[in-house]
Amino acid sequence: MSSGRVETKTELIPADAPGAVDRVAAYVRQGRLVALPTDTVYGVGCAAFDEAAIRRLYAVKQRPYHKAIPILLADLADLTAVTAHIPPVAQALMRRYWPGPLTIILPKHPALPAVLSPNESVAVRIPDHPVARALIRAAGGAMAVTSANLSGQPPAQTAAQAAAYLGDGVTAVLDDGPAPMGQASTIVLCDGEQIRVIRSGPVPDNELQNLAEALKTL
């Protein structure tokens, strides 16, 4: 299977280097793929509204199209650009856990490229990581980001691991040291008043269910 690696030789860029974030953000705006630090694990991504770049992301990751790619946002104000509706239970989760390691599946905004997911939903998160959010903000507010690895491999915990996994498939890796949590985010689906855990992670399942039960009494 072709890796789809069409990028130039990868640059490893320290996050605290002068102009580092703006430099990597410029690559994103040009339609290139980059790896970035987050609060959970290192991610690899591109501009959220660039269909061609998203297709390259699938190819570089060797990720099948039926596995959706999440969106990372810089700020809550960017949410209306990527989702068509925010259920009340999802709003409660955002107030409590964003920014943080909770990914919420929401109705997909019709302006988003269909290739992001095989259905009408999209997974969204605001990471609790200042460098990640600064990059996403400088790149336009929203990025399509998945774990920095090849499909089926463990997520990268460091910039060096991300570079080793992805090779020249990405233009740059923004290095801000080891990922603080070292664990992929919790993923939940909000269905009416229910919270369904799709992937367990840093946010405990029972804590989420307790919150859902508490919301029913309000």
Q: Consecutive sets of 10 residues in the chain, 218 residues long: mean pLDDT of each? A: 54 98 98 98 98 98 97 97 93 96 97 96 98 98 98 96 95 98 96 87 93 77
We report the CATH number of the domain holding residue 186 as 3.90.870.10
DSSP H helices, the chain, are 20-29, 51-61, 88-97, 130-139, 159-166, 205-216
Detail the DSSP E strand segments found in the chain.
11-14, 34-36, 43-47, 71-73, 102-107, 121-125, 142-147, 172-175, 186-191, 194-199
Asked if the structure places residue 15 within a domain, the reply is yes
Tell me if residue 200 falls in helix, strand or coil.
Answer: coil
Identify the residue whose tokens are 């980059």: 34
In this prediction, residue 5 carries a pLDDT of 45
In this prediction, residue 190 carries a pLDDT of 87
Is 114:122 a contact under the CB 8 Å cutoff?
no
In this prediction, residue 1 carries a pLDDT of 40
In this prediction, residue 212 carries a pLDDT of 81
Asked if the structure places residue 191 within a domain, the reply is yes
Asked if the structure places residue 147 within a domain, the reply is yes
Sign of the C-alpha dihedral computed for residues 164, 9, 129 and 72 taken in this order: negative
Domain total of the chain: 1
Give the bridge partners for 9, in sequence order: none
Asked if the structure places residue 84 within a domain, the reply is yes
Is 85:91 a contact under the CB 8 Å cutoff?
no
In this prediction, residue 213 carries a pLDDT of 82
Asked if the structure places residue 4 within a domain, the reply is no
Asked if the structure places residue 184 within a domain, the reply is yes
* Domain around 109: 11-216
Q: What is the pTM of this model?
A: 0.93
Asked if the structure places residue 120 within a domain, the reply is yes
In this prediction, residue 192 carries a pLDDT of 72
Asked if the structure places residue 2 within a domain, the reply is no
